[in-house]
Amino acid sequence: MKRELDILVLSDLHLGSYGCRAHELLAYLCTVKPRMVVLNGDIIDIWAFKKDYFPKAHMDVVKRLLKWSGRIPVYYITGNHDEALRRYSDARLGKLRLLDQLSLTIDGQRYWFLHGDIFDATMKHAKWLAKLGGFGYDLLIRINHVLNKVLVFLGRPRMSLSRRVKNSVKRAVNFISDFERTMAEIALDAGHDAVVCGHIHQPRIDRISCDGGTITYLNSGDWIENLSALEYVGGSWRLYQHPSSGVATRHDEVAIGRLEFA
């Protein structure tokens, strides 16, 4: 039986890239029944797009999202990897809407949904450097993809090289912390009660204190390393994390890694 969700937030799927865990993502999508979906950037990886690489599982994810958009509101917010779509912002197709950012009032609270790349200093001032870093990240993901195939064949658990690099490099840890605080401060200054973003592939639900007060910060993570999503049900946000050791079946009600936040 599918779990009913009031809101589902997904980001950083990177469909069309070698790192996208489309099979696991599709398995998860088959277990939920949302009333609203927010696709918070980097859904299709146009930076990494190649004409000869878009597997069936990736296309099946697209089809399911489009199927949902025929029945429920689906907001597609552009990110840096799908920034080519920004020229079409505010386009509508049925219940599917393409946006650069979105403001919603949810249970009396003002939420600001955006990918977050526009407040990334690397993206803003040195786009070529960001793309170079993206190339290195994609290469690491490809190596990781091959490594995990070997590990699975040997019956051993998967591992994330990129996550290990991020957690071990002080500069990367500081960047994540700075990004989260910057997002919180800008959202609070703009009069929002909560900010929901992606971009840094770090799933999190927290309260961040700034000079002007305290704000709720949410990040939906990604479907390359963390296999995570944000779920809003009955007035509470939950951070969902898909099991990385295997693929859930169509009828699973996966409850791994949820964090309740009232």
8 Å CB contact between 190 and 196:
no
Instruction: Report the pLDDT value the prediction gives residue 261, as an integer from 0 to 100.
Output: 40
**Rounded to an integer, what distance in angstroms lies between the CA atom of residue 83 and that of residue 99?**
11
7, burial (CB in 10 Å: exposed 0-12, middle 13-18, buried 19+): buried
Instruction: Report the pLDDT value the prediction gives residue 48, as an integer from 0 to 100.
Output: 81
For residue range 24-45, list pLDDT tens digits in order.
999 999 999 999 999 999 999 9
For residue range 56-65, list pLDDT tens digits in order.
999 999 999 9
Q: What is the dihedral of CA 49, 50, 51, 56, to 10 degrees?
A: -70
Q: What mean pLDDT is reported for the chain?
A: 82
94, burial (CB in 10 Å: exposed 0-12, middle 13-18, buried 19+): exposed
**Rounded to an integer, what distance in angstroms lies between the CA atom of residue 28 and that of residue 229?**
10
* pLDDT classification of 166: cutoffs 50, 70, 90: low
Q: How far is CA 52 from CA 47, 68, 125, 225, in A?
A: 14, 27, 32, 24
Give me the domains of the chain, ranges plus CATH numbers: 3-261 (3.60.21.10)
Pick the closest to residue 201 from 236, 232, 175 (CA basis).
175
pTM of the predicted protein model: 0.78
